Amino acid sequence: MWHSQVVSRSIPSTQILPALVAALLWCVAAAGAVYWGLQFPQGAVSSVPEVVASAPMPVTDTAQMARALGQAQVSAAVAPESSRFQLLGVISFSSGHGSALLAVDGQPPKAWRIGQAVQDGVYLQKVGPRQAWLGTSLTGSAQWELHMAGPERP
């Protein structure tokens, strides 16, 4: 008679624990990927509304526009030329070199070096601490003296 012998091999617990931890980590990673995949809306790129810019309507008569908005009288005072320039920053050296950060006509500020034309016929002549001088020529007298806003530093 034959007796069958069943050979049983036991797997040591030191080999099972790392395999279980690895399997658990893979399950967590897969669950996270599925979760975030479901959070992403379907057709998100195609559902972005299209923005169409329309041209602003030109205002031809400011007095008429002011009356339409309820202002009784429109003053015809023109802003001084120096108000077109706003001094936002200065770098000045004792050697006479330097630059100024200027915003012109409400545009984003740009850095200008001494001697550069800020606009046609308007040059940055010199800079000092918290101030800049603009003129219609490089060597003539300054027509505009700009000061930085804010409190003076000691």
- Tens-digit pLDDT profile for residues 42-76: 554 444 455 555 555 565 566 666 666 666 554 44
Q: What is the pLDDT of residues 5-17, one digit of tens each?
A: 655 566 666 778 8
Task: Report helix, strand or coil for 112.
Answer: strand
Interacting residues of 31 by C-beta distance below 8 A, sequence separation 6+: none
Strand partners, 20: none
Structural domain range at position 98 = 81-147
- Report how far apart, in Å, the C-alpha atoms of 68 and of each of 24, 54, 71, 107, 111 are: 72, 22, 8, 28, 40
Cβ neighbours of 124 (radius 10 Å): 24
Report if residue 92 sits inside a domain. yes
In a domain, 49, yes or no: no
26 in any annotated domain: no
| Domain-embedded: residue 117 | yes
Tokens of 93: 């050296």
29 within some domain: no
Q: Which residue has the higher pLDDT, 100 or 75?
A: 100
Decide if 104 is inside a domain: yes
> How many Å apart are CA 151 and CA 83, to the nearest integer?
19
**18 vs 43, residue with greater confidence:** 18
At 51, list the tokens: 């923005």
Would 31 be classed as within a structural domain?
no
Number of compact structural domains in the chain:
1
Check which CATH number belongs to the domain holding 129 and give it: 2.30.30
- Identify whether 20 is part of a domain: no
